[in-house]
Amino acid sequence: MSLKVTTLYATLERLERDGLIHTDGEEVINGRARRYYRISDQGSARLTEEVELLERSVRVARTRMALPGAAMGFFKGAEA
């Protein structure tokens, strides 16, 4: 995976604006500014929600893959 610098900084700015992370310090090393971030309580709660959603999706996918015909792409009503 590769991210452009502008994509990364735009994402960090959005996460900070949404209250999911906050700046946790800055320093200059070899003439380059570095900013450190820490996840907020709200961000931690949101991360937990996202992990739970992904885990449910994985369970559904695994259930569907175990069904007869799954290897050929034929699925019938496998909901977790």
DSSP conformation letters of 18-74: TTSEEEEEEEEETTEEEEEEEE-HHHHHHHHHHHHHHHHHHHHHHHHHHSTTGGGT-
pTM over 0.75: no
Q: How many domains does the chain have?
A: 2
**Both 35 and 65 in a single domain?**
no
Residues 31 and 1 in one domain: yes
Residues spanned by the domain of 9: 1-39
**22, 34: one domain:** yes
For 13-64, how does the pLDDT look when each residue is reduced to its tens digit (9 = 90+)? 999 999 999 999 999 999 999 999 999 999 999 999 999 999 999 999 999 8
Q: What angle do CA 71, 76, 80 make, to 5 degrees?
A: 100
The confidence band for 65, taking pLDDT boundaries of 50, 70 and 90, is confident
Quick check: 26 and 35 in contact, CB under 8 A? yes
